[in-house]
Amino acid sequence: MSLLELREVTRTVIPQDQPALTILNGIDLTIEPGDHVSIVGRSGSGKSTLLNMLGLLDLPTSGEITFDDRPVRSYSSAARDRLRGAGIGFVFQQFNLLPGRTALENVTMPLLYSSGRTFWRRKKIAAEMLELVGLEHRLSSLPDRLSGGEQQRVAIARSLVRGPRLILADEPTGALDLDTGQSVMELIDEVATRTGAAQVTITHDPTIARRARRHFRLDRGVLTAVDDPSLEPLTRRDRREMAPADDDPAVLAARGFGADPTEDAALERGDA
């Protein structure tokens, strides 16, 4: 049984006073439990729109999306929100940490929507997740006292604290330097392997994409499998040699675009 499947998914938007634009065109993609997929595409190719589909944030204009072989359209909006909250973890380029909250409080936030024993044990669960990402000594630190790599680790802990079955990483290293980016990807890979979660990484960086087992390219809304030797999966030796020695770099200026599909469309037309 597949975890998530997109069949002939199309997404069309109608900007004000302009003709309809097809952002995604006939997307077919199957994600199995424990899978690791990378999707490479330039800015404006429809990556943000596809992320919205994979994350059950938007429904397709046509085609079908199933989660655990059940059509997503059969869920109410509230049920879809609950499914997303419990089953999908998002790791973004921007850390999106609450500035006035400690690392522990930031990671605890998603557990406030839990119930029963998980709710009452939320601080302990959050602390254990921060320990898993190597920040057990930073529980009381505010975001502005953390390095870029540490902030991303907090963001990863927050996205995974509810034990999602699918991790969606959207340009997760875009605001980090090369060494810290590799360290963060090692961490996401390790956590996904330990928890059995499937992982989809959306990126423009072939080096990051190469870490996955299956590779795709998104170009003008069309998704195709990549048969490119430069994107062959890394060997264990490759991973060891690429592992960074230092995890305290300066943060580069955050890059990227919003997740609004009309913004992707504007970029594709060259209006932005």
Contact 211, 234 (CB under 8 A): yes
Coil, helix or strand at residue 259: coil
Report CA-CA distances (Å) from 103 to 106, 118, 126, 143.
5, 19, 9, 7
Higher per-residue pLDDT: 66 or 171: 66
| Residue 73 confidence (pLDDT) | 94
**Which residues does residue 269 pair with via DSSP β-bridges, in sequence order?**
none
Report CA-CA distances (Å) from 146 to 15, 32, 137.
41, 35, 11
| Residue 232 confidence (pLDDT) | 53
pLDDT band at 180 (very low <50, low <70, confident <90, very high): confident
71 DSSP assignment? E
**Which residues does residue 222 pair with via DSSP β-bridges, in sequence order?**
219
Each residue's pLDDT tens digit, 206-234: 888 888 999 999 988 999 998 664 655 55
| Residue 61 confidence (pLDDT) | 95
Distance of CA 163 to the CA centre of its chain: 14
Could you tell me the CATH number of the domain that includes residue 47? 3.40.50.300
| Residue 267 confidence (pLDDT) | 39
Contact 180, 104 (CB under 8 A): no
| Residue 259 confidence (pLDDT) | 41
Each residue's pLDDT tens digit, 42-56: 878 888 899 999 999
Paired tokens of 173: 């290293």
Q: What's the structural domain count of the chain?
A: 1
Each residue's pLDDT tens digit, 189-209: 888 888 889 999 998 888 888
d(CA 216, CA 265): 20
Closest CA to 171 of 45, 21, 10: 45
Q: Is the pLDDT of residue 166 over 70?
A: yes
**Which residues does residue 24 pair with via DSSP β-bridges, in sequence order?**
11
Contact 183, 247 (CB under 8 A): yes
Q: Which of 74-83, 89-98, 138-147, 239-248 has the lowest mean pLDDT?
A: 239-248
144 DSSP assignment? G
Who contacts 1 (Cβ-Cβ below 8 Å, separation ≥6)?
Answer: 68, 69
Ramachandran class of 218: left when φ > 0, alpha when ψ lies in -120 to 50, beta otherwise: beta
d(CA 134, CA 152): 12
pLDDT band at 250 (very low <50, low <70, confident <90, very high): very low
For the segment 57-61, the average pLDDT, to the nearest whole number, is: 93
Q: Is the pLDDT of residue 266 over 80?
A: no
- What is the domain extent for residue 29? 4-269
The terminus-to-terminus CA distance of the chain in angstroms comes to 41
| Residue 66 confidence (pLDDT) | 96
Who contacts 128 (Cβ-Cβ below 8 Å, separation ≥6)?
Answer: none
Q: How many Cβ atoms from other residues are within 10 Å of residue 149's Cβ? A: 23
